[in-house]
Amino acid sequence: MSDRYVVIGHPVAHSQSPRIHSMFAAQTGQDITYDKLLAPIDGFADSLRTFISEGGHGANVTVPFKLEAYEAADEVSERAGHARAANTLKFDAGRIYADNTDGVGLVRDIRANLGVAPEGKRVLLMGAGGAARGVLLPLLEARPAILVIANRTVEKAMQLASGNQHQPLAAHTELSGAGFASLAGQQFDIVINATSSSLSDELPPLPDKLFAPGALAYDMMYGKGLTSFLSYAQAQNAALLADGLGMLVEQAAESFWIWRGVRPDTRPVILALRKG
Ligand code: ATR
């Protein structure tokens, strides 16, 4: 029998993860099945328990269960602990191991697929919710010179920044929290949208001239056409525009590695997904 994996979410019908992992499995010759599992909003723990008792090997976890997935674990990775959220679970000898591959997926997409090295760069991370928290540690590990976390609710950005200032990693990076208005006059090489504003076609209130020459504008959301943030970035002459599709495939590849010990080639999978 093939080893069984699922993505658990609510909703989950839209998830591309089964398609991505099927392509990884075909490419690497791994014998797995990967399905969608819709858990009731108040039934994550039950759904997880049932899947494990039926012989499940591992799971990806998506909105809104990443915090519950983290809490369900017997053992958590440093990056999941830092994010207080998990998107990858592995079941072994009755124990649940939790990891978070979102941040490493983002950094790998920026570095390997888009060819932009975050080292020594000025990085702006917009948002201070779960999505921003999930990518902060791997972003700091990439050693930018400056990392500003900007959020509509300024205190949340301040809290997220001050909670990370004592990390040894922050020695390489000037880390701070801010509101959007106080960004006026500053320029960044990499601007990452980790707010959920693109979901509602909105835009954080950004000052003009935020993008340094050659800057990358990155929206962690993806969809058909440009998100509202990427349209704005284009109008502001950002040199490179990227949506979150590459991050989606890269975080999946890291999960696949955790489960199977094999690293799939992400490039053909990203290309296939771009085609629709
Ligand atoms: P997620 O898990 O997607 O991060 P979240 O934890 O609810 O979801 O956080 C949403 C983030 O998007 C927050 O940083 C939120 O800003 P506030 O903390 O001020 O609420 C941000 N956000 C959502 N809509 C926004 C908008 N229209 N403009 C600016 N920021 C927005």
* Atom 9 in ligand 1: residue holding the nearest Cα: 129
- Tally of CB atoms within 10 A around 254: 21
- Atom of ligand 1 lying closest to residue 153 CA: 19
- CA dist 38 to 24, 28, 73, 183, Å? 22, 27, 20, 41
Residue 272 has a pLDDT of: 97
pLDDT in tens, 168-186: 667 889 999 999 999 999 9
> What is the CATH number assigned to the segment(s) 103-243?
3.40.50.720
Closest ligand 1 atom to Cα of 152: 19
Closest ligand 1 atom, CA of 199?
Answer: 24
For residue 171, what pLDDT is reported? 80
Residues having CB closer than 6 A to ligand 1 are 127-132, 151-153, 156, 195-197, 202, 204
Residues facing 175 on adjacent strands: 147
Contact 159, 128 (CB under 8 A): yes
Q: Where are the domains of the chain?
A: 3-100+247-275, 103-243
- What span, in angstroms and rounded, lies between the C-alpha atoms of 84 and 80? 6
Residues with catalytic function? 66
- The Cα 263–Cα 45 span in angstroms is 29
Cis, bond preceding 204 (omega within 30 deg of 0): no
For residue 1, the CA-to-ligand 1 centroid distance in Å is 43
For residue range 200-249, list pLDDT tens digits in order.
Answer: 989 999 999 999 999 999 999 988 889 999 999 999 999 999 999 999 99
Which CATH code for domain 3-100+247-275? 3.40.50.10860
Tell how far the Cα of 196 is from the centroid of ligand 1, in angstroms: 5
Bridge partner residues of 149 (DSSP): 125, 177
User: Which tokens go with 214?
Assistant: 């050659």
CA quadruple 48, 52, 56, 59: dihedral positive or negative? positive
Q: Which parts of the chain sit beneath pLDDT 70?
A: 165-169
Cα 181 vs. chain centroid, distance in angstroms?
26
**Candidate of 87, 125, 195 to mutate for ligand 1, largest count of ligand atoms within 8 Å of Cβ:** 195
